[in-house]
Amino acid sequence: MDISQEGLRTLAAVLREGTFDAAASSLHITPSAVSQRIKALESAVGRVVLRRTKPASATPDGEVLVRLARQWELLLAETRAEFVGEPDDDDAPVTSRPRVHLPIATNADSLATWLLPVLARFHREHAVAVEVFRDDETRSSALLKSGDALAAVTSDPIAIRGCALQSLGSMRYLPVATPEFIATWLSDGLDAEALARAPMVQFDRNDHIQLDMVAALAGRAVDPPAAYIPSSTEYHRAVSLGIGWGAVPVVQIREPLDDGRVRLIADHHLDVPLYWQHWKLSSPLLQHLTDLVVTGAAEVLR
């Protein structure tokens, strides 16, 4: 099997841009050349790698090649940086250091609490440009499988084939609301009927943490009215402002709890275990990011 770098690069471009025409423009070649490269790649592997839809999508066999393309891009970028000058060479001005693109995936709460300082340090210490894909921690591993991310914060304890898995700890969530909200909606106690009526703040419609929390508190599945606030920082502010009750990470809600702006609605918590998965590559950058992630998570997570 002869898989060309040219074919992998073209496949990645088609999937990134969505169409053959857009990929041709980004690669500075003709759409016909893009089509010929994809056909040659499919002939080399003996499989169909692209669905010719709009936007184009990868077949399961294509996803395997996309992962290879992303990994190759990272290793090639690191090698190129070594040839033109080390990205971390203090003698070179920061504006002239070659930047290495490194895509990762994470959930919003990790990004808003402990991961962003880690990424800031990583950018200070290396000539990189990290691209963050934000998704629910239960689904971020899918971005690893598709090749869109080289590493991810995930709640999946099973390593994807070809990936290394490290436990980061657990993020603890507490069910809280303002005193006024509790007096209005939960004054007669916490039961299934009250929880079915009381407004709840959810991150989005895939927010399983809130649904798991309300089911645990009610003793059964209930469907309360929900306000959707799809931002981690604004989410806990929405709860602190009384829009509804919600399960908020301890690290975000500790100060409002201490000063009385919010109170626990029940003596209960939900711990969500988090893991760091990354592709097994001989990449110094990816390894250093892994070291920083593990250290940064240990300072915040349980």
**Residue 279 pLDDT > 60:** yes
Q: Dig out the tokens for 57 from the structure.
A: 């999508």
**Alpha-carbon gap, residue 1 to 295, rounded angstroms:** 41
pLDDT at 87: 47
Q: Which residues of 134-163 are buried (b: 16+ CB within 10 A; e: fewer)?
A: ebbbebbbbbbbbbbbbbbbbbbeebbeeb
**Alpha-carbon gap, residue 143 to 265, rounded angstroms:** 36
pLDDT at 160: 84
**Alpha-carbon gap, residue 175 to 89, rounded angstroms:** 48
Residue whose entry in the numeric block shows the structure tokens 């690069």 = 9
Distances (CA, A) of 5 to 10, 22, 69, 258: 9, 19, 8, 57
Would you place residue 8 in the very low, low, confident or very high pLDDT band (cuts 50, 70, 90)?
Answer: confident
Q: Dig out the tokens for 10 from the structure.
A: 């073209």
103 touches 148 (CB < 8 A): yes
**Residue 66 pLDDT > 90:** no
When the pLDDT of each residue in the chain is averaged and rounded to a whole number, the result is: 88
Q: Which helix (DSSP H) or strand (DSSP E) does residue 263 occupy?
A: strand 263-264
Instruction: Identify how many contiguous H helices and E strands the chain contains and give both numbers.
Output: 13, 11
Angle at 96 between CA 91 and CA 101, to 5 degrees: 115
**Residue 70 pLDDT > 90:** no
Distances (CA, A) of 80 to 72, 97, 103, 141: 12, 11, 18, 29
Q: What is the pLDDT of residues 32-58, one digit of tens each?
A: 999 999 999 988 888 898 898 888 888
The residue ranking higher by pLDDT, 176 or 95, is 176
**Alpha-carbon gap, residue 289 to 279, rounded angstroms:** 12
Q: What is the pLDDT of residues 195-238, one digit of tens each?
A: 999 999 999 988 899 999 999 999 999 999 999 999 999 999 99
76 touches 56 (CB < 8 A): no
Task: Pinpoint the alpha helices (H) of 106-206.
Answer: 108-110, 116-125, 141-146, 179-185, 192-197
Question: Domains in the chain, start-ordered, CATH in brackets?
Answer: 171-272 (3.40.190.10)
Q: What is the pLDDT of residues 102-143, one digit of tens each?
A: 999 999 999 999 999 999 999 998 888 999 998 877 777 788
Average pLDDT of 288-296? 96
Q: Dig out the tokens for 88 from the structure.
A: 């971390």
Q: Dig out the tokens for 247 from the structure.
A: 């399960």
Strands 200-202 and 226-228: what pairing?
parallel
Sign (positive or negative) of CA dihedral 212, 217, 220, 224: negative
